[in-house]
Structure 1
Amino acid sequence: MIFQNFILEHIWNLKPYSSARDEFKGKEGVFLDANENPMGSGVPEKWNRYPDPLQLTIKEQLAAIKQCNVDQIFLGNGSDEAIDLIMRMTCQSGIHNIILCPPTYGMYEVSASINHIEQRKVSLLTNYQLDVAGILEAIDSNTRLLFICSPNNPTGNKLNRTDIYTLIESFKTGFVIIDEAYIDFSDEPSFIQELAKYPQVIVMQTLSKAYGLASLRLGMAFAHPTIISLLNKIKPPYNIGGATQEIVIKALANTSFKKSSVSLLLAERTRLIESLGQIPEVLQIYPSDANFILVRFKNSNELFNYLISEKLITRNRSTVTLCEDSIRITIGLSEENDKLVDLISTFYVA
């Protein structure tokens, strides 16, 4: 793949900003280079020094966990930063377009709208799988990005891997973005292991779900080193704060938490599905490979509002394409799931 053909010329030729911590990477010395406050921070912790702009310690941990190389990893302020940077790197408003497959993660559309990029929407089929023929028909010479979310949000299901391979191998005008935010709850292998074979693929993951670090906002993109170097070139100099980096380093070292939380949530997902299946007004429970389930209810809007009145918050997806009468339910703790089932049962009896 000749990457330069699919990257905007001004991005490819951009001379990036060089921060003080880019120019000197040592950790010891008298630092009079970055206009920092030498007095500290006004709190017991000292946050007065700028953080590592490339987050190398975290990337070394992730490289071991994800079985890839450090130069294949980009870290952003949530996956949303990577989505935005990829669009700005590849798409010129008024010329290029991207393909989305609703229902799917809403930030693809929002980011494209902010960047004034044409969106071609090819809805999933009624079984929530990819419309491969429709996608291939929508592609033209100016299509730069194809977004695939698997396991998909808000439907929860993994997408047919054979279909994804077909699209990767057929799409010749840009990059296939595979969003694996929920991969830790699926038995599907990550496409990270396919990057050497498919340099046109960019994989996104997150620490918000299985690792329990949603508040820190750290997303990951995995790609060919050329793509990673371009993302690093156009990102803000210090896009991941020092406090976030310090906490993430500790969290990644605690390997048992992620394993135990995934195990518990998968068991609770099974139990919740079984419990909801006993309620006649539950019209359909869609297959899930994520830490949530999409459920179609009788009188879903009224049920959603009732649950809110009882201080139990779910996500009403009834207005989303192909998700009519459906509520998305995140898998909670055992007692939280029990409360949910009790409240739903009470609503329909009343």
Structure 2
Amino acid sequence: MTKQLFPKDILPDNINALAAYSSAKSQKLTGSTWLNANESPYSKTFELSLSDLNRYPDPQPQNVIDAYAQYAGLTAEQVLMTRGADEGIELLVRTYCKSGEDSIALFLPTYGMYKVTADSHNVAINALTQELLLEGSVEQIITAVGNSKLVFICNPNNPTGSLTTLNKISAIAKALENKALVVVDEAYIEFCPQQTATTLLQDFINIVILRTLSKAFALAGLRTGFMLTNPSVLAPIRKVIAPYPVSRVVAQIAEQALQSDAITQMRRQVTILNRAKAILLQWLEASPAVNQVLNGQGNFVTAQLKDKANIDKAMKSGLIMRPFTLYGQDNWLRISIGNEQELEQVKLWLETLGSEL
């Protein structure tokens, strides 16, 4: 009798051992207040035309590309539209790294999809630290990066909110010319737009910027991102990307979201969220139940609680935030900046914890 072949018997070792990324929505949680996925609290409405869905879409919808190029202050040739910034990460690894030979450099703790993507393509991880990135010299960083093909800098960094200065990014890029791509993930850049690395693209061929409409643009459900870089870097990626990565519906919504009045509305909402964040920081810093608070950029605040059990209390009450293990300790919590009513639930939770001490 022939032995039955199970999927695990034919899986590559790296996929068999892969630890999948655990997104905020991957856990089947129940709650009433959702502050765990860095989503915008603002919903939007759009006009759609569904009469031509029998036809394949434009692989790179020109109206959207032109609109985002204008928004970013770049040319259309420097812009590639992707299925969220996550596809941009995957395209870079798949295009520029040799499976089983190359590595990417990360500064931990940082966004988990860099590692998952590399692991799934059998690309090694050169695990460095945020401390090295923020406090180390450029020479120390370059030595540690070694022969890594891609160097990922999440800026602002998720989940710490820390910022790497543009001077340091440019110095790293210069030292790695003709050696590696420096990938600056700007998923949260709208919350500190003056820190964008787009101004560096005119001077460095080896800088790639990843963007998304999921955060400040309040379109997490659309799964739309952009890769910004030199056309020569994009050329091989255009050969690798799926033939029709952007649906007509997504293109229609993205085009409307990038109109001047919509961008003005987005910036107004960012101002409101940044003010709300400042208030949340005050609450956390004043709470006796909080050990320390990371005061960084982005639409979230990450704090360490004195008692991890208090996270479970919040979850059971319907207040859903994102627990993390950082720096070897499992009592960290990332809180997305929601609307006034949502953040009021955080305040009440903190007040309850304070009264129990």
1:153 to 151, 158, 161: 158
Give the equivalent residue in structure 2 for 1:52. Answer: 58
Give how far 1:97 is off.
1.3
Contact 2:106 2:151 in 1 (8 A): yes
Name the Cα RMSD after superposition.
1.9
- The Cα offsets for residues 107-132 of structure 1, whole Å up to 9 and x where unpaired, read as 00000000000111111219x82544
Output the amino acid matched with 2:189. Answer: I
Secondary structure, counterpart of 2:333 in structure 1: strand
1:281 touches 1:348 (CA, 8 Å); kept in 2?
A: yes
- Take 1:109 and 1:135, find their aligned partners in 2: how far apart are those partners? 19
In 1, Cα distance between equivalents of 2:120 and 2:140: 25
Q: TM-score scaled to structure 2, two decimals?
A: 0.81
2:300 matched to 1:310?
no
Task: Report the CA distance between 1:243 and its aligned residue.
Answer: 0.6
Q: Cα–Cα, structure 1 residues 322 and 74, in superposed 2: closer, same or farther, change >3 Å?
A: farther
Deviation at 1:163, TM superposition (A): 2.5
Gap change, CA 1:195 and 1:44, over 3 Å in 2:
closer
Q: What CA distance in whole angstroms lies between the structure 2 residues aligned with 1:45 and 1:270? A: 46
Change (3 A) 1:342 1:45: farther
Letter in 2 for 1:47: L
Closer, same or farther: CA 201–240 of 1 in aligned 2, 3 Å: same
- Which 10-residue stretch deviates more, 50-59 or 227-236? 227-236
For the residues of structure 2 that align with 1:66 and 1:118, how far apart are their CA atoms? 32
In the alignment, structure 2 segments of 5+ residues that lack a partner are 1-48
Cα distance change, pair 323–217 in 1 and its aligned pair in 2 (3 A)? farther
Report the counterpart of residue 118 of structure 1 in structure 2: 124
Post-superposition shift, 1:189?
A: 3.0
CA contact (8 A) 1:180 1:204 kept: yes
Shift of 1:239: 0.4
**Counterpart of 2:268 in 1: which secondary structure?**
helix
Out of 192, 214, 217, the position equivalent to 1:211 is 217
> Could you tell me whether the CA contact under 8 Å between 2:78 and 2:231 is conserved in 1?
yes
**Using a 3 Å threshold, how does the CA distance of structure 1 residues 187 and 68 change in structure 2: closer, same or farther?**
closer
Structure 1-normalised TM-score?
A: 0.82
Q: How does 1:294-305 map to 2 (within 5 A)?
A: 294-299=302-307, 301-305=308-312
Quick one: which of 200, 216, 223 aligns to 2:229? 223
Deviation at 1:311, TM superposition (A): 0.8
Q: What SS class does the counterpart of residue 194 from structure 2 fall into? A: coil
- Give the paired residue count: 304
Maintained 8 Å contact 1:124/1:131: no
Q: 1:130 to 1:204 in 2, by over 3 A?
A: farther
What is the CA-CA distance between 1:260 and the residue it aligns to?
Answer: 1.5
Structure with greater contact order relative to length (CA < 8 Å, sep ≥ 6): 2
- For the Cα contact (< 8 Å) 1:58–1:245, is it kept in 2? yes
Could you give the per-residue CA deviations for residues 53-98 of structure 1, whole angstroms, max 9, x where no partner exists? Answer: 1121101111111110000001111111111111111111222111
Task: Give the structure 2 partner of residue 277 of structure 1.
Answer: 285
Contact 2:134 2:164 in 1 (8 A): yes
Match of 2:238 in 1: 232
Name structure 1 gaps, 5 residues minimum.
Answer: 1-42
Structure 1: distance between partners of 2:80 and 2:193 = 24
**1:237-290, CA deviations, whole angstroms, 9 ceiling, x for partnerless residues?**
110111111111111112232112101101100111112222122221211211
The 1:245–1:343 alpha-carbon spacing in structure 2 relative to 1, beyond 3 Å, is same
